[in-house]
Amino acid sequence: MTTQEKLRLGVNIDHVATVRNARGGDTPDPLRAARIAEESGADGITAHLREDRRHISDADIEGLMNMLSVPLNFEMAATDEMQAIALRHKPHAVCIVPEKREERTTEGGLEVAREENKLAHFIAPLRDAGCRVSIFIAADKRQVDAAHRIGAEVIELHSGAYCDAHHEGRFDDRDRELEALRQMSTYAHDLGLEVHVGHGLTYETVQPVAAFPEARELNIGHFLIGEAIFRGLQPAMAEMRRLMDEARG
């Protein structure tokens, strides 16, 4: 793999639905956001159907499956209900994430090492149905090894601790977290896993991660949707893509 290989940008539209649901009704429409993102060069769309349906709804997932020409990355908890929904729709990819009802956003990576047998059985039907299975994990060797053993094809490394440390001015912590992400990107790639990175990435934090030669995809949502309020989604995405490409080149 070379640093010249294009780094994909996946756009998470969850928080368009958050704004819609704050007031009720149909606007702003996350499907419209997905369409604009697709027309603006997104390589994929990510949507997390939570158990409590706090943002993305079942109807949103159905609509996305019907309209998208780019891949849908369906984020989901490891529950029977979500497995059944994924098996019904058969999205291009499913990303298994930890989920707690009291959290505002996904707070960390999935604990794969302690749930290895359960998760191996959980993802097997998804793989058999043709979905690419991704596991959302911390940059930790135990979790990477476990994700590999259970048969995941992709890992997505949680970049939230790195981004939080940067924006809070804890630069020693930031550098340690970045180094862990870098090392685990290399390690996972050497195992044969495809490496994605996501959570909390902004214009300030994206370039050091985008420079990882092993990274194939960045998934970015909340920041882009926030920027879209001020500059529009297409210009917000264009600036993110510029920064990613600059780091890659």
Q: Tell me the C-alpha distance between 236 and 249, whole Å.
A: 20
Are the CB atoms for 238 and 65 separated by under 8 Å? Answer: no
The active-site residue, picked from 55, 89, 166, 199, is 199
Our answer to whether residue 199 is catalytic in this structure is: yes
Our answer to whether residue 75 is catalytic in this structure is: yes
Closest CA relative to residue 156, chosen from 220, 92, 63: 220
What are the strands, taking DSSP E only, across 65-150?
Answer: 72-76, 93-96, 132-137
Our answer to whether residue 48 is catalytic in this structure is: yes
Closest CA relative to residue 189, chosen from 241, 159, 147, 133: 147
For residue 28, say if its preceding peptide bond is cis, omega within 30 degrees of 0: yes
Q: Tell me the C-alpha distance between 181 and 210, whole Å.
A: 11
What are the strands, taking DSSP E only, across 99-234?
Answer: 132-137, 154-158, 194-198, 215-220
The active-site residue, picked from 75, 177, 214, 227, is 75
Tell me whether strands 72-76 and 44-48 are parallel, antiparallel or unpaired.
parallel
Catalytic residues: 48, 75, 199
